[in-house]
Copies of this chain bind each other. A is one copy, B any other.
Amino acid sequence: MIKNLKRRLLGSPIASALAHSERINKRRALAVFSSDALSSVAYATQEILLVLVLAGGAALSYSIPISGAIICLLFLVVVSYRQTIREYPNGGGAFSVTKENLGPSWGLVAGAALLIDYVLTVAVSVAAGVAALTSAFPSLFQYKITICAVAIGVLTIANLRGVRESATIFAFPTYGFIVGILSMLAIGTYKLYTGEFTHIDPPATEGLEPLTVFLLLHAFSSGCTAMTGVEAVANGVPVFQPPESKNASKTLIIMACLLTTMFFGITYLSHYHGIAPNEQETVLSQLARSIYGSTWPYYSIQILTMGILFLAANTSYAAFPRLGSLLAKDRYLPRQFASLGDRLVFSNGILILGVVSTGLIYLFDADTHALIPLYAVGVFLSFTLSQAGMLRHWERSRARGWIRHAIVSGIGMTVTAVVTTIILTTKFTDGAWLITIAVPALIILFRQVHHHYLSVGKQLSLVGVDPKSLPHELKHTVLLPISGVHRGVIEAMRYAQSIATDVRAVYVEIDKESTERFQQDWQRWGRGVPLVVLRSPYRSVVTPLLRYIDEVEDSNQDDMITVIIPEFVTAKWWQQFLHNQTALIIRAALLFKRNKVVTSVRYHLD
């Protein structure tokens, strides 16, 4: 039944032989890999304004230069990433690049930062998507957490079905959003210049804080969330149709241009329409409403915004399990993350991502602004590491033009390192401190897992062992604990006699009379198996049995002891509770003892 449900939800399994056909073209790739970056325009402007408004309404105009600075930063990173894509056609994620060039330790730092970043991408994007919805339909505001959880559930299932199908499902909203926002910006600008709208001054609220450099940097670092997701293309190079690098590089450039236009346009128009952030309605919704009024184009913008944000979350569903599998292949994560599921996707990574991001949604009450401070630290940390890795790469390779490339990477590295520091400093008390705990914690986890696998490998290794040196024969004693004679016991006894010659029935005496009655039964049914009677003054069945097992072990060194337990399989599951759970207790008690095997011989009841 569970199997059936799984088939319904996820589709039939896909054979391994079909693996290569699961590639996507540029158009689809833009939908899958660029939505994260593009969708951040839905909240980046708002995050800048939310910081600036602390210094009063007049400070809001600083949003224009701050956006300019962020766009410069974006192009710096994009140029640097194009180099990476060309050099790493098999996937130039920050993890691989850092690991290969700066060594595994730095690779783990990048890996931890990215894993956290992907989880936050899902949480932030879904929360922002639902905020777009509740801005348009305020009556849904109270259900926001539930809507977020359902959205994550749908994304998880879609991704468990496989990458090509999810690209098909999600291609429409990306293009819808791009067209929607660009046309809205065009109409808004046109209306502004024809004088249909006059410049509205921002509300003249009093500032709660002075307009300091720290505040401006804080606003800048909030706006840097606009850049999250840029690295997704580099990670996903191998999924592109050949020529992979070229297609990926082109997709990256298109994405950056679209992002710049939309982000700057929204910030600019919001400023000229005098929009101030407010808790109930997003900045983008206010802008759309002031351009269109509450008409159908306004509602379309909101729905499209929600669509691309959910799609942005989907970017992580491509990136997170892929990175997880890389880490697992290097034995830094449990091996379950490395194996492809039924549908040729890394199912375990997808499931974990769904669960953890839903948890974050609950913890932070589905509030985008509360989640943002955790975000971006990881992204910029991995930008920095990736470019540091590239710098090292050029320095080592000394291929034609390496100096020019190294300069690009070096500038990129320096600038992103500075930005990382700014983000961490200005947002530390808002929640960024959590990241300073989470990254080291993940690294410790990676190391522990790695250490375990290495140690197991060493313990199990047969290198240098001569097959003939291993002992061939095994001595074997079988114990059969019983409390009476019935068909189940007869079955267990037959099994016991078939696997060993030294079989002993063990009976625990609770009261004398029953023992005598049992001994008579045994005369008749015991098939010549010797009977051991153990006293139990405290009525426990398990304790005397364990003591006897120890005795047997002490008398026969180097022996294997198998405990065979007659067990019932009832026709209905609840009936199982009507029988003693002795088998379970014995199994648990012997779990950590060597040379003991516990075998249940099941007797099936109707």
CA distance A603 to B527 in the complex (A): 33
Within 8 A of B (CB), among A496-550: 497-500, 510-511, 524-525, 527, 537-540
Q: Which residue of chain B has its CB nearest to the CB of A575?
A: B452
Tell me which of B336, B340, B474 contacts A497 (CB under 8 A): B474
B511 contacts A16, C-beta separation under 8 Å: yes
Are A487 and B499 CB-contacts (below 8 A) given A340-B539, A494-B471, A569-B592?
no
A538 contacts B15, C-beta separation under 8 Å: yes
Cβ of A175 under 8 Å from chain B: no
Q: Which residue of chain B has its CB nearest to the CB of A470?
A: B490
CA distance A472 to B16 in the complex (A): 47
Cβ of A297 under 8 Å from chain B: no
B461 contacts A473, C-beta separation under 8 Å: no
Cβ of A605 under 8 Å from chain B: yes
Cβ of A20 under 8 Å from chain B: no
Complex interface: stretch among A202-210, A230-238, A593-601: A593-601
Cβ of A339 under 8 Å from chain B: yes
CA distance A517 to B579 in the complex (A): 48
CA distance A472 to B494 in the complex (A): 7
A510 to chain B, nearest CB (A): 7
Are A538 and B334 CB-contacts (below 8 A) given A460-B487, A591-B569?
no
Cβ of A407 under 8 Å from chain B: no
Cβ of A296 under 8 Å from chain B: no
B580 contacts A335, C-beta separation under 8 Å: yes
CA distance A487 to B469 in the complex (A): 13
Tell me which of B342, B476, B597, B606 contacts A599 (CB under 8 A): B597
* Residue-wise interface mask of A (551-583) relative to B, using a CB-CB cutoff of 8 A (1 in contact, 0 not): 000000000101000001110000101111000
Cβ of A195 under 8 Å from chain B: no
Cβ of A455 under 8 Å from chain B: yes
A16 contacts B510, C-beta separation under 8 Å: yes
Within 8 A of B (CB), among A431-483: 449, 452-453, 455-456, 459-462, 467, 470-474, 476
A499 contacts B486, C-beta separation under 8 Å: no
Within 8 A of B (CB), among A48-99: none
CA distance A578 to B456 in the complex (A): 11
Cβ of A104 under 8 Å from chain B: no
* Residue-wise interface mask of A (349-377) relative to B, using a CB-CB cutoff of 8 A (1 in contact, 0 not): 00000000000000000000000000000
The interface residues of chain B lying within 8 Å CB-to-CB of A242 are none
CA distance A87 to B537 in the complex (A): 34
Cβ of A495 under 8 Å from chain B: yes
Q: Which residue of chain B has its CB nearest to the CB of A14?
A: B538
CA distance A568 to B460 in the complex (A): 10
Q: Which residue of chain B has its CB nearest to the CB of A524?
A: B467
B498 contacts A476, C-beta separation under 8 Å: yes
* Residue-wise interface mask of A (383-416) relative to B, using a CB-CB cutoff of 8 A (1 in contact, 0 not): 0000000000000000000000000000000000
Cβ of A176 under 8 Å from chain B: no
A453 contacts B498, C-beta separation under 8 Å: no
CA distance A511 to B16 in the complex (A): 9
B600 contacts A600, C-beta separation under 8 Å: no
The interface residues of chain B lying within 8 Å CB-to-CB of A498 are 473-474, 476, 499-500, 560
The interface residues of chain B lying within 8 Å CB-to-CB of A596 are 602
Cβ of A274 under 8 Å from chain B: no
B16 contacts A539, C-beta separation under 8 Å: yes
CA distance A199 to B498 in the complex (A): 90
Cβ of A485 under 8 Å from chain B: yes
The interface residues of chain B lying within 8 Å CB-to-CB of A578 are 334-335, 449, 452-453
Cβ of A17 under 8 Å from chain B: yes
B497 contacts A499, C-beta separation under 8 Å: no
CA distance A486 to B463 in the complex (A): 9
A135 to chain B, nearest CB (A): 38
Tell me which of B510, B540, B577 contacts A334 (CB under 8 A): B577
A560 contacts B495, C-beta separation under 8 Å: yes
The interface residues of chain B lying within 8 Å CB-to-CB of A527 are 467, 472
B456 contacts A15, C-beta separation under 8 Å: no
The interface residues of chain B lying within 8 Å CB-to-CB of A460 are 486-488, 603
A480 to chain B, nearest CB (A): 14
A487 contacts B467, C-beta separation under 8 Å: no
Tell me which of B487, B569, B599, B606 contacts A461 (CB under 8 A): B487
By Cβ-Cβ distance, the 4 closest A-B pairs, closest first, are: A460-B486, A499-B499, A474-B498, A13-B538
Show 8 residue pairs from A and B whose CB-CB distance is below 8 angstroms, ordered by the A residue: A13-B538, A16-B510, A16-B538, A335-B578, A461-B486, A461-B487, A462-B525, A474-B494
Add 8 more A-B contacts to A342-B538, A476-B498, A597-B601 (CB < 8 A): A13-B538, A15-B537, A16-B510, A16-B538, A455-B605, A460-B486, A462-B485, A499-B562
